[in-house]
Amino acid sequence: MNNFAYARASDVADAVRRIAADPSAKFIAGGTNLIDLMKENVARPSRLIDITHLPLDKVEETPDGGLRIGALVPNSDLAYHPRIEARYPLLGSAILAGASPQLRNMASTGGNLLQRTRCVYFYDTITPCNKREPGSGCSAIDGINRMHAILGTSDHCIATHPSDMCVALAALEARVLATGTGGERSIAFADFHRLPGDTPDIDSNLRADEIVTAIELPPKGFAANHTYLKIRDRLSYAFALVSIAVGLDIAGGTIREARLALGGVAHKPWRDREAEAQLAGAPATEESFRRAAETVLRDARGFGHNDFKIALARRGILRALAQASRGTPQSQADKRIA
Amino acid sequence: MARPSSAARKRQEKFSLPAKRTVTLHVNGVAREVTIAPWTTLLDALRLHLDLTGTKKGCDHGQCGACTVLVDGRRINSCLALAIMKDGAQVTTIEGLARGSTLHPLQQAFIEHDAFQCGYCTPGQICSAAGLIAEGRARTADEIRELMSGNICRCGAYPNIVAAIEEAMEGKAAAKSGEAAR
């Protein structure tokens, strides 16, 4: 690790003041991704601002019947929170599909959003990478790209966002609350992360002087008909090749509303509103699911090693929609695919 | 002694390291002060500053679990935690599990089930299992396997590790029902 200074933020205003004063400083909470990146010399902050003592560790009801999750709530506490288990099991399931128990105990809600890609070239400081070193080139496009994106890629970057939790948050239409020198604002989840375009070094639309303070969930949790299906190279503790979060509102065999988001396939959690609109009003049948999968993957493009992800995603979407419509969500302990 | 020239002072400022700080870690019930740089991990503070070498450095990247300790009762990867951020925390390492010469039930069960070969991952496995039992989320062997997935054993002692944890869990359950009966 590079030598860095350390400071502890006393409140949110103090944290904002400190980050605004030093553009090369970084916030630290759980540290599970940042410390790793620092050990690899990918991140070299001048200063770490410890935010773990800020009062952002509550899960609270919102007036509209949703939940407000403090940015410092650990991933494990959130996954097992009684209100999450009862009303937003899709979110709990996605969290438990990711990382390990130790990492989930450390990692924070806000930090999960801001974790960086695990693209091997991003981590390997001797190879070109536009995300790590803008303008240096992308080593993955013609390199080993088995883990890489098939949707929303650019000529500059084909990295994926690694989070499972965020795929569920995208499907649930969460909002991200952030505070900066300009005050507080609320960001729709779909607008939080970015596609790579020609600036893949910028992962999210969070401003440099802003801190994530909370995630807000709307009242609708799709608890009766949901699933998080994660397909990976090992049965546990591995990043997704493809993952699918589904929430359905079904009455009498007809889908009233559908949410469908994919992980492991793009630079951000991938949600396709056209596919969701096709499902709304359709019967919960394999034919409807197939049409939705075709829509999601209409512009999918592989780069060689990851070509298989297109077929895998198609089958995964079919299976996940079937699981959700039957009300038999994928277990994250029993690994047989339901 | 002559004062350093202004150029020398400038050079010193340029290369000065961020100050070390003294923090208190309550390790296995004993308050220990360590004076550390901001980048000292909890793992290095335990091993290099406090000479508690039971906690192992495996991958040093949070992938293998050999460095697992309990901080304020929760299992974490000590290689990804900065000691400076844990000022005042309660830390339990493998050295803190036995009561005098009586092994912790998990330690005893690991011996009885031959749950290790080289032993390098074992302190992390046992601390992780202690965390798992405290969390109370695992009931079946499948759930133990899933919730121990953060601890890698390259000797492949997994079946015996799961058996040892199952036994320690049953022992705890039996002790609980015994208490309830009393």
At A234 the pLDDT is 93
At B9 the pLDDT is 55
Q: For residue B135, give the CATH number of its domain.
A: 1.10.150.120
Is the separation of the CB atoms in A270 and A262 below 8 Å?
Answer: yes
At A291 the pLDDT is 98
Average pLDDT over residues B113-117: 98
Is the separation of the CB atoms in B168 and B129 below 8 Å?
Answer: yes
Residue A330: which residues within 8 A CB-CB, separation 6 or more?
A93, A227, A228, A229, A230, A320, A323, A337, A338
Could you tell me if B82 and B116 lie in one domain? no
Could you tell me if B125 and B74 lie in one domain? no
DSSP assignment of A107-168 equals -BHHHHHHPPP--HHHH-TTS-BTTTSTTS-BSSTTS--TTS-SSS-BTTB------SHHHH
Q: For residue B90, give the CATH number of its domain.
A: 3.10.20.30
Could you tell me if B91 and B148 lie in one domain? no
Cβ–Cβ contact A126 with B under 8 A: no
Confirm whether B48 is domain-assigned. yes
At B168 the pLDDT is 97
Confirm whether B166 is domain-assigned. yes
Number of domains in chain B: 2
Write out the residue range of the structural domain in which residue B126 sits. 105-176
Measured in Å, how far apart are chain A's first and last C-alpha atoms? 44
Does residue B3 have a pLDDT over 60? no
Confirm whether B7 is domain-assigned. no
Identify any residues that bridge with A176 across adjacent strands, giving them in sequence order.
A187, A215
Q: For residue A271, give the CATH number of its domain.
A: 3.30.390.50
Residue environment code for A201-214, b if the CB has 16+ CB neighbours within 10 A, otherwise e: eebbebeebbbbbb
Angstroms from A132 CA to nearest CA on chain B: 19
Confirm whether A214 is domain-assigned. no
Confirm whether A107 is domain-assigned. no
In angstroms, the CA B133 to CA B127 distance is 10
Q: A106 to chain B: which residues are within 8 Å by CB?
A: 76-77, 80-81
Which of A105, A115, A331, A334 is best to mutate for the B interface (most B CBs within 10 A)?
A105
Angstroms from B153 CA to nearest CA on chain A: 14
Q: What is the tens place of the pLDDT at every residue in B138-160?
A: 999 999 999 999 999 999 999 99
In angstroms, the CA B15 to CA A4 distance is 12
Number of domains in chain A: 2
Residues on chain B bordering chain A, Cβ-to-Cβ distance under 8 angstroms: 17-18, 21, 37-39, 41, 60-62, 65, 68, 74-77, 80-82, 84-85, 128, 131-132, 135, 137, 140, 142-143, 145-151
Instruction: Looking at A11-74, list the stretches that DSSP marks H as alpha helix, in order from N- to C-terminal side.
Output: 12-21, 34-39
Which of B22, B74, B125, B133 is best to mutate for the A interface (most A CBs within 10 A)?
B74
Residue of B nearest to A103 (CA): B76
At B16 the pLDDT is 67
Mean of per-residue pLDDT scores for chain B: 91
Q: For residue A40, give the CATH number of its domain.
A: 3.30.43.10
At B13 the pLDDT is 52
B182 DSSP assignment: -
At B172 the pLDDT is 76
Confidence of residue B123 (pLDDT cuts 50, 70, 90): very high
Whether B61 and A39 lie within 8 Å, measured CB to CB? yes
Confirm whether B67 is domain-assigned. yes
Confirm whether A21 is domain-assigned. yes
- Tell me what percent of the residues of chain B surpass a pLDDT of 70: 87
Phi, psi of A250 (to 5 degrees): -120, 140
Confirm whether A243 is domain-assigned. yes
Is the separation of the CB atoms in A95 and A78 below 8 Å?
Answer: yes
Report residue B163 as tokens: 């058996």
At A336 the pLDDT is 83
Confirm whether A105 is domain-assigned. no
Whether B82 and A80 lie within 8 Å, measured CB to CB? no
Last residue of a domain, one of B42, B71, B96: B96
Residue A57: which residues within 8 A CB-CB, separation 6 or more?
A70, A72, A73
Confidence of residue B182 (pLDDT cuts 50, 70, 90): very low
Q: What is the ipTM of this complex?
A: 0.97
Q: What is the tens place of the pLDDT at every residue in A290-304?
A: 999 999 999 999 999
Confirm whether A126 is domain-assigned. no
Confirm whether B12 is domain-assigned. no
Question: How many contacts does A have with B, using Cβ atoms within 8 A?
Answer: 92
Write out the residue range of the structural domain in which residue A252 sits. 226-326
Last residue of a domain, one of B62, B96, B130: B96
Average pLDDT over residues B72-82: 98
Could you tell me if B111 and B172 lie in one domain? yes
Confirm whether B182 is domain-assigned. no
Confirm whether A316 is domain-assigned. yes
Does residue B164 have a pLDDT over 80? yes
The size of chain B, in residues, is: 182
Of the candidates B132, B150, B158, the one whose C-alpha atom is nearest the C-alpha of residue B61 is B150
Furthest-apart CA pair in chain A: how many Å? 62
In angstroms, the CA B80 to CA A39 distance is 9
Could you tell me if B39 and B77 lie in one domain? yes
Q: What is the tens place of the pLDDT at every residue in B21-39?
A: 999 999 999 999 999 999 9
State the pairing for strand pair A25-28/A175-180: unpaired
At B11 the pLDDT is 53
At B1 the pLDDT is 44
Could you tell me if B120 and B172 lie in one domain? yes
Last residue of a domain, one of B45, B69, B96: B96
Does residue B8 have a pLDDT over 80? no
Whether A31 and B80 lie within 8 Å, measured CB to CB? yes
Confirm whether B8 is domain-assigned. no
Q: A5 to chain B: which residues are within 8 Å by CB?
A: 18, 38
Q: Which residues of chain A have pLDDT under 70?
A: none
